[in-house]
Structure 1
Amino acid sequence: MEDYHVAEYRNLENSLQLGPGGSTAVTAIVIDGKDLWIANVGDSRAVVCELGAANQLTVDHEPHVERKRIENKGGFVTTLPGDVPRVNGQLAVARAFGDQSLKAHLSSEPDMRHVPIDATMDFVILASDGLWKVMKNQEAIDLVKTIKDPQAAAKRLTTEALARNSKDDISCIVIRFG
């Protein structure tokens, strides 16, 4: 984990010309078809289909949940009427890459999880919040559970998110098991 922090710091230092933006992320690795490792930062999410039911494998890193850590780093969490909690009134996630103006108050440390793959698991969806803001976990599972081609399933999810007027970036990968 120490190497991760060093690399992330160097990347941030070397990318000052990229501007003030940031990102969340989710990634996965399947080892020998038996083990699934998931890592996420922010509100990019992994959801697995188990016997037709959605099971969220990651935790969304929300400011109100990590308020104490944010405040200990000198930041604050605000919630305006009709809005979600935000770090320093700006960012709706407590963990992210980049976001240089808020970096002192954020964490970029990922949550990691190991899940043994078993016969009850059909596929996993990895997607950014551009999908999850307009679609519930079970809706996403139901939309693509009959689509066998993972690339076609991911395209179907992103197309549906756009049809639902998602205003955020939409990244999506579907991994089928077995």
Structure 2
Amino acid sequence: MLSSLMNLLRACWQPCADRHLRRRGGGGSDSVGCQDGLLWYKDHGHDINGEFSMAVVQANNLLEDQSQLESGPLSLLESGPYGTFVGIYDGHGGPETSRFICDNLFQHLKVFATEEKAMSVNVIKKAFQATEEGFLSIVTKQWPMNPQIAAVGSCCLVAVICNGKLYVANLGDSRAVLGRLVRSTGEVLPIQLSSEHNVSIQSVRQEMQSMHPDDSQIVVLKHNVWRVKGLIQISRSIGDVYLKKPEFNREPLYTKFRLREPFSKPILSSEPAVSVHELDPNDQFLIFASDGLWEHLSNQDAVDIVHKHPHSGSARRLVKAAMQEAAKKREMRYSDLKKIDRGVRRHFHDDITVIVVFLGSSRGERSPVLSVRGGGVKLYAKSGLNTAPS
């Protein structure tokens, strides 16, 4: 009874605490994250596999990036599996799809993991498919009142750490990078774990052309940028229904999104590229980030920043480094860039989301069940199961 009351009080208090933090503009305890202008960060936390840090900086009028870290049970069963789930959702055209993914994908994964009583590539692919179908249902319902929702979509990068394995699934151009220690030299080398689906990459253009051999305009160079049908750079996503279902590529959708010629099969795919990695004792940390980070930092730059500094604040350091590079490219000071408001800020850099997960620092230790949303949307330790199985 007492624990239930405490959980209720905690649930009521934390949203107020988060609003208070945002009003103060930063500082205070990191237990619910901190805010510094358009930057939200949680410098330090513990999940089942180790320590982590998160940071999000907003550039758009509405934050289109969403992110989450879930640690604890990966199914609805007490018997497991247990582990850590990381999601980076980089929206475009609006925040609706990325928010929908953040609310639904992990829940779908838990349901399918419960059915299989294990984590697997199949579980992850089913969770992606169910999320895509769920958003399609939303578009279908809202189309008569809000047809532009058909042109909203999101990249989707997911990682699951479970039983010594790392599963990485990706749609779009967010990126996962592993920092691996070379013991003979003390260096940490970057290993890119995700394949990107951006038609600026020649192999992705070739894939699109092979899938649509009868369409010579499937990929078009427009204003020196390669785009699918001259509209979008990524070839895979959740949402973007206007390029998947021909019944949504018509009036009253804005003219700029409507194709002149009909299409009979989806132009974009929602099938994630999934890889599985056996974690090695030399694997030090993982960096997950939307393309807003990688536009300004190389894999090696990012790994060096994390490796050469304390764990706490790693994600915030990466975001700051990217913003400093963005300022340098425009021949301005970082301090001046920070003063530019959202919306206008998008002319200098994109929304940037980073999650850094350290491996080995608490492997095998008992850890509280944890659910964290980037940007201060949701941040709480769940009640109920509170330890991982030994």
TM-score clears 0.5: yes
CA RMSD of aligned residues (A): 2.3
C-alpha distance in 2, partners of 1:171/1:65?
29
**Equivalence for 2:317:** 156
Divergent runs of 4+, >3 A = 1-4, 15-18, 72-75
C-alpha distance in 2, partners of 1:76/1:56?
28
**TM-score, length basis structure 2:** 0.42
Alignment pair present for 1:146 and 2:333: no
**Alpha-carbon offset, residue 146 of structure 1:** 2.6
Q: How many residue pairs align between the two structures?
A: 175
Q: What SS class does the counterpart of residue 316 from structure 2 fall into? A: helix
Q: Quick check: 1:66–1:94 contact (8 Å CA) kept in 2?
A: no
**Equivalence for 1:54:** 190
Q: What SS class does the counterpart of residue 130 from structure 1 fall into? A: helix
C-alpha distance in 2, partners of 1:8/1:110?
11
Higher helix fraction (1 or 2): 2
Alignment pair present for 1:28 and 2:164: no
* Letter of the 1:77 counterpart: V
Match of 1:171 among 324, 335, 353: 353
1:3-42 matches, within 5 Å, as 4-15=128-139, 16=142, 17=146, 19=149, 20-32=151-163, 34-42=164-172
Q: Quick check: 2:128–2:272 contact (8 Å CA) kept in 1?
A: no
* Letter of the 1:126 counterpart: F
**Equivalence for 1:94:** 235
Q: Quick check: 2:160–2:167 contact (8 Å CA) kept in 1?
A: yes
**Alpha-carbon offset, residue 73 of structure 1:** 9.1
Please list the CA deviations of residues 33-86 of structure 1 after superposition, one character each: whole Å capped at 9, or x if unmatched: x21111111111111011211110111113314223552696710123632x21
Q: What SS class does the counterpart of residue 315 from structure 2 fall into? A: helix
Q: Quick check: 1:70–1:76 contact (8 Å CA) kept in 2?
A: no
**Alpha-carbon offset, residue 3 of structure 1:** 6.1
Taking only the aligned residue pairs, the percentage that are identical comes to: 33
Q: Which runs of 5+ in 2 are unaligned?
A: 1-124, 182-187, 200-204, 245-265, 327-347, 361-390
**TM-score, length basis structure 1:** 0.86
Q: Quick check: 2:178–2:191 contact (8 Å CA) kept in 1?
A: yes
* Letter of the 1:10 counterpart: G
C-alpha distance in 2, partners of 1:22/1:176?
30
Distance 1:161 1:70, change over 3 A: farther
Q: Which runs of 5+ in 1 are unaligned?
A: none
Distance 1:56 1:9, change over 3 A: same
C-alpha distance in 2, partners of 1:144/1:3?
31
